[in-house]
Amino acid sequence: MSSNNAISALLVWLPLTTGLWGNLANGSYAATGSEVPTAASSPSPSVQHVAQAISRDRTLGVTGLGQVSAPADQAIILMLFYANYTPDYSDPEAAFLPPTVPKPSELQDVVDALTAAGVPASNLKVTPDFTSSNGLRVRVMLNQPSQSQVEQIVTTATTAAVKENRFTLSTVSVGYTTNDCQAIENSARQAAIADVQNRAAALATAAGAEVGELISLSDSTVWGTYGSTSCPANNDPVLLSNPYGLPPYDPSVPAVVNVQYQIIATYELRN
C-alpha cells in the first residue's frame, strides 16, 4: 500500500472509532444484528417469584392446643393375681417341687363376688398370665362407668382373692373408651384452631406487626387414655389382653376419656 492510501484509510477509521467509543461512554450504543439489547424490560416470572419469596421471609410460627374430656362409655379393668407360694424346706433331702400352675377356675370366688356386685358374667373373663406361670388375669368390662364403680370393682375382686390367702393382687390397669371418637376429636380440633389464632394475634401485636396469610399447617392427636392409640377402640385385642397397654389404676382419676389436639401453624408477618 502506498503512503497516500494508508493515510487516507487512517483518516476514515479514526472518526468511526471516536464515534463508537463516545457512544459507549454515553451509554447510547444501540446494538444491531444479533447483539442483545440492553434496554430495561419487565421482570420474568422467576424473578417475580423470588421477590414474593423474599417478601415472606418474615414469618410467625405458633402452636395451639385443644384439650377435651368426655364421660367414658366403657371401662376396661385388668387385674393380675399371682398365686402365693412358699417352698417347703423342712426336708433338706426332698426333691424340689415347683409351684403348681393355677387354673382360671381357682379364681371362681372373684368371679362370684363381681357378679354379685352387678357385673354381668359375659363381661368377665379369667385367663392365664402369659408373663408368669403362676399368674392369672381377670378382665372386667364395665359399661357407663363411674369413678366409684371402678373403685368398687377393684376392691371387691381384691377382697375375694385374698380371703383364703391363695392369691395376691399384683397389678391393676384401667382404661376408658368412648363410642364416638370423631366427635371428641372435632371438638378438640376446634379448640386448638382457636388457640392458634389467639396466640398468633397476641404474638404479632407484641411485635408491632399483623398476622398475614396462613403459610403452613400441621396437626397431631394424643389420646390421654392409651397414649399410642390414635382413637380408643373397645375391641382392640392388645388393650384387652395386655395390662401394660393400659395406664396403671389411679383411684383419683375420673372415668373420662381425654384427647389433646395440637396444631402448628406458620403465618406471614406483616408490618
Which contacts qualify for 239-242: CB closer than 8 Å, 24 or more apart? Answer: 239/76, 239/175, 240/76, 240/139, 241/127, 241/137, 241/139
What is the CATH code for 55-70+180-270? 3.30.110.170
The pLDDT tens digits for 98-138 are 667 888 898 999 999 999 999 999 999 999 887 777 889 99
Residues 6 or more apart whose CB falls under 8 angstroms from that of 104 comprise: 126, 127, 128, 136
The pLDDT tens digits for 211-258 are 999 999 999 988 875 544 556 655 554 555 555 567 889 999 899 988
User: Distance between CA atoms of 81 and 65, rounded to whole angstroms?
Assistant: 40
User: Distance between CA atoms of 49 and 54, rounded to whole angstroms?
Assistant: 9
For the question of whether the overall pTM of this predicted structure is more than 0.85, the answer is no
Taking the CA atoms of the chain, what radius of gyration do you get in angstroms? 40
Residue limits of CATH 3.30.70.260 in the chain? 74-177
What is the CATH code for 74-177? 3.30.70.260
